[in-house]
Amino acid sequence: MLKASKEPRLLIENNDWLTMGTSETDIDCPPSGKRVAARYPNGDSVRVEFLEIDSADDFDRRYPRPRIPARVASGRPPDWPPLDADTPPPSAKLAQIGAAFPLTLVEVEMRVPGLQIDFGPRDTELATNVFAGERWMVGCHVGFQLR
């Protein structure tokens, strides 16, 4: 987990979730093991959840087309295609790459206020940059890397 402090944080090693259990204000991990989440006193948090999506309709309900915030829409270049009813649903991209339902997905959310990082399954903010919408990664080892 990214962090702004020197305190120990939740980590995954060889498919096991490890923590010292001393710095978290809350840990959530139900017996199914499909989700783990931790919160810290300085506002840092992490959540990882594995889920199964049975159909394209279920996928599109969980990950709808992004809504562009007004502050971003006003600065959108006129030659960019509009996001409207004619825009294919998010599941259309999956069909193009040959993905078939049901799908097993992992959602990762991480908030690190001290580093101005806030990312999740629907949008991501890195300092003043906002990323929304289709950010699906298939068959890759690293989605993005921060150094």
Residue indicated by tokens 């007004």: 70
CB 60 within 8 A of CB 91: yes
pLDDT (0 to 100) of residue 65: 75
pLDDT (0 to 100) of residue 91: 87
C-alpha distances (whole Å) from 138 to each of 17, 19, 76, 105, 130 are: 23, 29, 28, 11, 22
Dihedral of the alpha carbons of 75, 116, 112, 121, in degrees to the nearest 10: 10
The pTM for the full model equals 0.71
Cα–Cα distance measured from residue 35 to residue 6, given in angstroms and rounded to the nearest whole number: 25
Domain ranges (residues) in the chain = 11-132
- Residues in contact with 73: Cβ distance below 8 Å, sequence separation at least 6, in sequence order: none
Grade residue 59 by pLDDT with cuts at 50, 70 and 90.
very high
Tens of pLDDT, residues 35-55: 999 998 888 888 999 999 999
pLDDT (0 to 100) of residue 52: 94
Tens of pLDDT, residues 111-128: 888 888 888 777 777 777
CB 94 within 8 A of CB 48: no
